[in-house]
Structure 1
Amino acid sequence: MAIATIDPTTGKTLRSFNAHSAEELEARLKLAEETFRAYRHTALADRRRWLARAAELLESEAEHFGRLMTQEMGKPFEAAKAESQKCASACRYYVEHGEAYLRDESIDVGGDRSFVRYQPLGAVLAIMPWNFPFWQVVRFAAPALMAGNVGLLKHAHNVPQCALALEDLFLRAGFPKGAFQTLLIETGDIARVIEDPRVKAVTLTGSEGAGRAVGGQAGRALKKVVLELGGSDPFIVMPSAKLELAVETAVKARLINNGQSCIAAKRFIVHEAIYPEFERRFVERMRRVVVGDPMEAKTEVGPLATEGIRQGLHAQVEKSVAQGTRLLVGGKLSSGQGFYYPPTVLADAAPGSPAACEELFGPVAVLSRARDVEHAITLANDSPYGLGASVWTHDEAEARRFIDGIETGMVFVNAMVASDPRLPFGGVKHSGHGRELALHGIREFLNAKTVRITSGTTAPPTQASVSE
C-alpha cells in the first residue's frame, strides 16, 4: 500500500514517500539500540526538560500540526488543533508525575529491606492508526520517553507527514537523536521488526484483525505487547437522565473525529419509557449536522479518511437495512468529490446484521430499546468488544449496577467516554489488553525488578543517585 498523503476532501494525492530500504531500516534499528544504552542513564531532570519543551512546541505550532492532520485524514481543523494541544497536556502530565511513578517502591517483608525498582526495557515499537495521528502517538511516547525507553513509530500509510513531523518534534525538543524515530515501512515488514532482538516490546492501536496479527507475532517473539483495538461502545440513557443534555452529548459522542474513534459511542441503548422522545430529538439533531470542508469553522463532520473506509461503511449500512434494520436518516453515498458520508441513524438492528455485530467506523448510530437496568446491561454486553461505556442516570443504585455489570475497561457516568492523561485507558474482550496513560501506562514497558537486601549487607545506591 502506498505511503502517501491523499486529501480526503478531493481524493487527490498530494505527496508520496518511498519506504525505507532494508539498509535504512537496519540503520534506524541500530541507532535505537545504541541510543538506548546511553539514554536510559540520562538524568530524569533532562527528560523532564525535553518533554516540557515538546509540550511547548505542540502548543505553539498547533495550527501547523493541525493542518497536517486535516490534510492527511480529514479531521475538522478546530479538532485537529485541539488534538495537538491535548498532546501537550499529556507531555506535561508526565513531566509532573513521571519521576514519582518511576521511584523505587518499598515493600515491608519484616526485617529485610525490599523494594521494586522500575527500569526501562529498551526500544518499543509503536504501530499507530491514522484517526488521531498525533494523540495516539504522544500518549505512548510521552510516558515511554520519560521512563527511559526509546520509541520506533510505524504509523499508518496515509499520515506520513504527521509521522515525520513527530520525529522532528522530539528531536527539536532536545531528545537525543535516535530516542524517537519514524519507520516508513510497509505492513509486511512489521513482523521482521517485531522479531528483531533489538526491539523489546510492542504497542498497537488498531483493528481487531491487526491486534490478532501483531499480538501473535509478539507472542512468538516472547515480547510484551499492549493492544488497544476496536470498540462498539454503548451509550445508555435511563428515565432519570437529563434528556436534552443526553441527546446533545450522544450526537457529539457519535460524531467525534467524523465518527472515526474507537471510543465513539456507537450503540445507543435507551429505556423504553423515554425512547420515542430520545429517537425524535436524536434524529432531528443528526439531520441538522453540518457536513463539509474540514477547514471551515462551521463544519461538524468532514470526510472519512479513505475511500475504502467510506465504501466499507456504506456496505455495512446497506446490508443491515436489507436484513431488516430500520433506516431513520442518512444512509446514502454523497455525490461529488471527497470521501464524505452523511450522519446516519439506524434502529432495531436485525440480529446478525453488521449494525448488531460489527463496529461501524464512521458517523452511523444504532438505536435500541431497553426494558430496565438489567436488560440494558445485557444489551451493552452483547458485543465482542469491551472498550468504554457511557451511562446516563441520576439514580445512584442504577449507576452502581451499571459500573459493576458492564464489561468494559471504562465506564463514564453522565459524561461521554474520553481519554485523559490522568486516567488509565484500555479495554477488555476483543478490545485488547494492557493500559495507556496515567500510572498504569508508564509502567507497561518497565521491568518491575524485585530487590531484597538481607540485613547486614551493603546497601546499593539509591535510584536518585544512579539517574544523576
Structure 2
Amino acid sequence: MPIATVDPATGRTLKTFEPMDAAAVEERIAKAHRTFREYRETDFATRAALLRAAADLLDKEREEIARTMTTEMGKTLAAARAEAAKCAKAMRWYADRAEGLLADEHPGPDDVEDSGAHRAVVRYRPLGVVLAVMPWNFPLWQVVRFAAPALMAGNTGLLKHASNVPQTALYLGDLFRRAGFPDGCFQTLLVGSGAVEGVVRDPRVAAATLTGSEGAGRAVAAAAGDEIKPTVLELGGSDPFVVMPSAADELDYAVSTAVTARVQNNGQSCIAAKRFIVHEDVYDTFTARFVAAMERLTVGDPMAETTDIGPLSTEQGRADVEELVQDAVSRGAQALCGAQRPASLPEGWFYEPTVLAGVTEEMRIHREEAFGPVATLYRVRDLDAAVALANDTPFGLSSNVWTRDEDEQRRFARDLDAGGVFFNGMTASHPALPFGGVKRSGYGRELSAQGIRAFCNVTTVWFGR
C-alpha cells in the first residue's frame, strides 16, 4: 500500500509521501537508542510536565487534527474531536499517576527475612526503545495509549503507523517534539510494512507493541519471539452483545446502546459489538427496534455534523465487508436492512448500516470479523446457549451483556472467553482499566497499571545481611 492520504469520502488521493530509506530509519533508531540512555534518568515530575504540555497542545489543536483524521480515514468529525479529547485526558491521567503505578514495592518483612535478605525491593525500570505498529482506525488514540505510559516509564518510542494516515503519524511525532520531549524520545517511521521486521530485529529495539490484524500480529510476534523480545498484541475482535429477559424493562436503552456499539467509528472498531445474541423472550421486540434504529442512521459526508456514519477507510475495506455480507445472504441469511452501497453516494467507500438474521456456522461472517457497520443477529433459548454462542469465535477481545439478574452476571463474568465483560453498557477503553484480549485477539494488556508495566524490567533488588 502506498503511503498516502486518500479521502475515503471521495476516493481521491490528496497527498503522497516517499517512504524513508534504510539510512533514515537507521538514523532514527540510533537517535532513539542514544536518547533513551539520558531520558531514562529523568524524574517523574519532568516527564509528567512534558506529557501535560503535549496534552495542552493537543487540546489547542483539536479541531485541526480532527479534520486531518476525518480526511485520512473517514471517521465523523464529531468522533475525531472526541478521540483527540480522549487522548489528552489519557496523557494527563498517566502524568498524574505514573510515579505511583511504578513505585518501588517492598515485600513483607517475614518474606524478606525468609529469603535471607536484610532488605528487598521490587523496582520497575524502563526497557529501552519500543516499536509501536499501529492501525488507522483510531489513529491518535491507539498511539497515545501506548506512548503516554511508555514515555512516563522512561522508554523511547518509534511509531510505524498505517500507510493511509501519514499526516496523523507525522503530527504525533511533531507533537511530542513541540511539547519539549528530548529529540529522539518519540519518532515516526514513515515506512511500509516490509520494513517492520528489520526494525523489530534491530538489537537496539527492546520490545514491540502492535494493534492490528491477526496476520500482522503473527508476523511481528514471530520476529520478536525469534529475537526473544517482549510484545503486546491487540488484534481483531468479534464481540458479543447478549440481551437477556431481565433487561426487558430497559430494552430501548439496550437498543440505542447496541446501535452505537455496532456503528461507532463507522463500524471499524475491534471492540465494536458485532454479534447480537438475544434471548428468544425478547428477540422479536429487540430486533424490530434495533433494525428501525439502524435504518434511521444518516450515512454521508463525515465532515457534516448531522452524519452518523461516514465512509469505510479504504476501497478494499468496503469490498471485504461486501464479500462477507454477500456470502451470508447467498447461504440463506436474511438482510433486514442495508446490505448495499447507498445509491445517493456514488463517490467514496460508503456502505449502508446492515443487520443480518439467520446466520449459521457455514457462513464466513459467523467466524470472521466484519469491519464495517454490519450486525449479525442470533436467537437463543437460554443462558447456556448464550454463553456457548458468545464463545463460539476465534476472538476474545471484549463482550457486552444486558442482564439485571445477579446470578446471570456471575455466570457470564466467569464463563465468557474475553478480556472484558461489560454489563448493561458498551465496551469502551479507559486509562484506568486494563485493555486487551485472549485467543486470537492477542495477549498482554494496555492502559492501567498493567499497561505502563508492560514495557518495564521488573527488577528484584536484594540486600544481604
Give the deviation of 1:94 after TM superposition.
0.6
Give the deviation of 1:61 after TM superposition.
1.0
Indicate the residue corresponding to 2:155 in structure 1.
149
Q: Kindly provide the amino acid, as one letter, of the partner of residue 199 in structure 2.
A: V
1:267 aligns with 2:275: yes
Indicate the residue corresponding to 1:441 in structure 2.
451
The one-character-per-residue Cα deviations of 1:10-50 (angstroms, maximum 9, x if unpaired) are 00000100000111111111101110010100121110000
Q: SS of 1:200's equivalent?
A: strand
In structure 2, what is the Cα distance between the partners aligned to 1:393 and 1:198?
A: 50
1:306 aligns with 2:347: no
Q: Kindly provide the amino acid, as one letter, of the partner of residue 93 in structure 2.
A: Y
Q: SS of 1:119's equivalent?
A: strand
Give the deviation of 1:370 after TM superposition.
1.3
Q: Displaced runs of 4+ in structure 1, greater than 3 A?
A: none
In structure 2, what is the Cα distance between the partners aligned to 1:325 and 1:169?
A: 48
Indicate the residue corresponding to 1:279 in structure 2.
287
Q: SS of 1:309's equivalent?
A: helix
Give the deviation of 1:325 after TM superposition.
1.4
Residues 145-184 of structure 1: pairs in structure 2 closer than 5 A: 145-184=151-190
Indicate the residue corresponding to 2:46 in structure 1.
46
TM-score (norm 1): 0.96
The one-character-per-residue Cα deviations of 1:280-307 (angstroms, maximum 9, x if unpaired) are 0001111111001011111000000000
Indicate the residue corresponding to 1:383 in structure 2.
393
Q: SS of 1:300's equivalent?
A: coil
The one-character-per-residue Cα deviations of 1:214-263 (angstroms, maximum 9, x if unpaired) are 11111111110000000000000011111000000000000000000000
Residues 76, 307 of structure 2: 8 Å contact kept? yes
Stretch moving more, 122-131 or 446-455? 446-455
Percent of aligned pairs with the same residue? 56
> Unmatched 5+ residue regions in structure 2?
none
Indicate the residue corresponding to 1:19 in structure 2.
19
The one-character-per-residue Cα deviations of 1:352-374 (angstroms, maximum 9, x if unpaired) are 21221110000000000111111
Residues 157-236 of structure 1: pairs in structure 2 closer than 5 A: 157-236=163-242
Residues 48-447 of structure 1: pairs in structure 2 closer than 5 A: 48-108=48-108, 109-111=111-113, 112=117, 113-241=119-247, 242-335=250-343, 336-447=346-457
Q: Kindly provide the amino acid, as one letter, of the partner of residue 76 in structure 1.
A: T
Indicate the residue corresponding to 2:10 in structure 1.
10
Stretch moving more, 320-329 or 64-73? 320-329
TM-score (norm 2): 0.97
In structure 2, what is the Cα distance between the partners aligned to 1:191 and 1:171?
A: 26
In structure 1, what is the Cα distance between the partners aligned to 2:151 and 2:263?
A: 32
The one-character-per-residue Cα deviations of 1:302-322 (angstroms, maximum 9, x if unpaired) are 000000000111011001110
Root mean square deviation, CA, Å: 0.8
Give the deviation of 1:350 after TM superposition.
2.2
Give the deviation of 1:96 after TM superposition.
1.0
Residues 110 and 27 of structure 1: CA distance in aligned 2, closer, same or farther (over 3 Å): closer
Give the deviation of 1:142 after TM superposition.
0.1
Give the deviation of 1:333 after TM superposition.
2.3
Residues 112, 120 of structure 2: 8 Å contact kept? no
Q: SS of 2:427's equivalent?
A: coil
In structure 2, what is the Cα distance between the partners aligned to 1:40 and 1:156?
A: 28
The one-character-per-residue Cα deviations of 1:395-446 (angstroms, maximum 9, x if unpaired) are 1111111111100000000010000001000000000000000000000000
Q: Kindly provide the amino acid, as one letter, of the partner of residue 283 in structure 1.
A: V
In structure 1, what is the Cα distance between the partners aligned to 2:431 and 2:103?
A: 19
Q: Kindly provide the amino acid, as one letter, of the partner of residue 194 in structure 1.
A: V
In structure 1, what is the Cα distance between the partners aligned to 2:70 and 2:137?
A: 10
In structure 2, what is the Cα distance between the partners aligned to 1:244 and 1:118?
A: 47
Give the deviation of 1:275 after TM superposition.
0.2
Q: Kindly provide the amino acid, as one letter, of the partner of residue 325 in structure 2.
A: V
Residues 232, 442 of structure 2: 8 Å contact kept? yes
In structure 2, what is the Cα distance between the partners aligned to 1:124 and 1:323?
A: 46
Give the deviation of 1:213 after TM superposition.
1.2
In structure 1, what is the Cα distance between the partners aligned to 2:179 and 2:159?
A: 17
In structure 1, what is the Cα distance between the partners aligned to 2:235 and 2:370?
A: 13
In structure 2, what is the Cα distance between the partners aligned to 1:269 and 1:132?
A: 27
Q: Kindly provide the amino acid, as one letter, of the partner of residue 7 in structure 1.
A: D
Number of matched pairs:
455
